[in-house]
A and B are shown apart, each in its own frame.
Chain A
Amino acid sequence: MNPPVATPFFFYLLAGTMIIGGILVITRKNAVHSAMALITTLLAQAALYLMLYAPFVAGVQIILYAGGIMVLFLFVIMLINLERNMKERQFNRQWLVGIATAAALGGLFIAVYTATTRGKVLFPEGRMSYVEADNTQKIAGLLFDRGMGQYMFAFEIASLLLLVAIIGAVVMAKKRI
């Protein structure tokens, strides 16, 4: 089977959307504009997951992140009054140090990359099997199957974590306990 021919175009389009969305998230004064930019980034990321032949993770990203977490963020932004905050200073006093730290981190990434490659390809392409027709079933196999499933314990711990988070959020947001 031939690989899809439009891949570089869509990859660069989605990557550009994500980078622009990320820059808008961290620079907007209005928190609602930031949230809308983050929603765009998350939806572009779901499309990138589809390009990586991970449809189940893309579906989970749309439902949980864009349809759940961002709704939560928008609710909270609308419940607290940010009018006065929009007229104040947006960046804190150590913003220069922050950008220098991030630049140092970026330099670290580049240094690690050039130190380990030194001429050879870091991630050689293997035998790519372009199947996605049973991606969900395979993930379910890894999670639940008795034979090859190894993440059942992590699944149960995650559900316990969600329970703790629900109780914690309810207690934190109550006026009187």
Chain B
Amino acid sequence: MHDLILYIQSYLDSDRTPGGAGNVFWATVYILLVFGGLSVAVIAMNWLERKILAHMQVRLGPMRVGPHGLLQPIADAIKLLLKEDIIPAEADKLVFWIAPFIVVLAAFTVFVVVPFGPTHAITDMNIGILFMLGVSSLSVLGIVTAGWASNSHYPLIGALRSSAQMVSYEVAMGLAVLSVILMTSLNATGTGTLSMIGIVQAQLTQGEWFIFKFFPLGLIGFFIFAIAMVAETNRAPFDLPEAESELTAGFHTEYSGFRWSLFFLAEYSAMIAVSSIAVTLWLGGWLRPFPNWLSGDRWDLVFSLFPGITFVLLALMCFYNTARMPKHPLFKIQTIGLAGFGAVLGLIGLLLFWTPVRVRVTDIFWFAAKVAGFMYLYIWYRGTFPRYRFDQLMKVGWKILLPMGLALLILTAGMGMRTELWAQLQGVWRGQ
């Protein structure tokens, strides 16, 4: 047992990712952890979306199933698993069966290179960001085949519209990402990097998050990517292909039960994936706020208390709501459940104050907190913005975001090479 703890500790102290070290066992452990964490995150997103949308619309959302609806996602999952599996009569059975798997495969494979910390990625590929953009473009194939295999009009039109939208906004995403890759090359050797961990380390060495670099160029790039990523994942306000009042749920109309839940899982995983791209490229990945300005051991200590404080605050909120529960015998189970949930959160928070855990968790916590901020933005957009019509959507993608992305790329390249450009211009002047 002691050997096991030593083995785990010696691994956690290494400075390479499991893929980089060629360590298959730890890579598998990380893959299982990411898979489990992603599933928990999708379940939590389901609950959060319903509650936050409800509160934005001045109503309460699910309150019955568990205390404050906390068990609602589990009830939904059980219902979906027990539903009858209906396949349309003339549908192409093989393609109908394969389509959800392609989308889920594409959405989950992206997480192989997402960096939760300087060594906390499954692997750090040399082409990290290229791999992420490429594999997330494979989900378009799944959507197109899902619409085709359903053999009915609404799914086909929904699939074609959805894939046209995704392909259009991928171009804008690629251009915004390119401008960030240019910014990573502003170091001593003049070579940039495509690896995700390298991009965050470039932000650390250059002393500022890329969202603030060459102000306002980083900010404009971030906005282009933020808009394009919402369109890429078919979320409001770009969700015409799957809106219920327009196309009766678009390409996943004919899918029921477990197959539909695969599409749902893939959609939320894709949301988390593109948010992690945005966080890594613009918002400094796992870096805590102000790593260079407020540096030193004292500030490290202050910022490393944040994970524990967050969980303890959540636990306090649970206890407050427990006290506010109605004092009726039928609510006894819910009150006890909520108090138990609060106790679990509090214990996790107290665990996160303990030094060995605190030091290791802080990178993952800051990354997860930033991605959680993006998830809240997604839900906020859904509750606030009206839906774009399809031609307006394509116009925004091609006629507004693409020229802005190109101009941003040229300006970023110009700003990055400004000393050389200025020297060349002066040389041309003097040469005359």
Contact = CB atoms under 8 A, between A and B. Distances in A.
Interface stretch (B131-139, B213-221, B329-337, B353-361): B131-139
B130 A63 contact: yes
B144 A56 contact: no
B163 interface: yes
Contacts of B144: 71, 74-75, 78
Contacts of B133: 63
A67 B140 contact: yes
A45 to B, nearest CB: 13
Chain A contact residues: helix, strand, loop or mixed: helix
Nearest to A1: B22
Contacts of B163: 71, 75
Interface residues of A, number: 26
A56 B145 contact: no
B92 A68 contact: no
Contact of A75 (B98, B138, B160, B193): B160
Contact of B140 (A36, A71, A132, A135): A71
B156 interface: yes
Interface in B98-137: 98, 125-127, 130-131, 133-135, 137
A71 B95 contact: no
Contact of B127 (A32, A33, A39, A56): A56
The SS class assigned to the B binding surface is helix
Contact of A32 (B92, B130, B137, B140): B92
The interface size bin for chain B is: 20 to 34
B266 to A, nearest CB: 16
Interface in A83-133: 132-133
B265 interface: no
Interface in A54-87: 55-56, 58-60, 62-63, 66-68, 70-71, 74-75, 78
B141 interface: yes
Contact of A132 (B126, B131, B137): B126
Interface in B146-200: 147-148, 156, 160, 163, 167, 191-194
9 contacts: A32-B148, A36-B98, A59-B130, A59-B131, A62-B134, A67-B134, A67-B137, A74-B141, A75-B160
Interface of A: 30, 32-33, 36, 39, 55-56, 58-60, 62-63, 66-68, 70-71, 74-75, 78, 132-137
Interface of B: 92, 94-95, 98, 125-127, 130-131, 133-135, 137-138, 140-141, 144-145, 147-148, 156, 160, 163, 167, 191-194
Nearest 6 Cβ contacts at the A-B interface: A67-B137, A62-B134, A59-B130, A63-B134, A59-B127, A55-B127
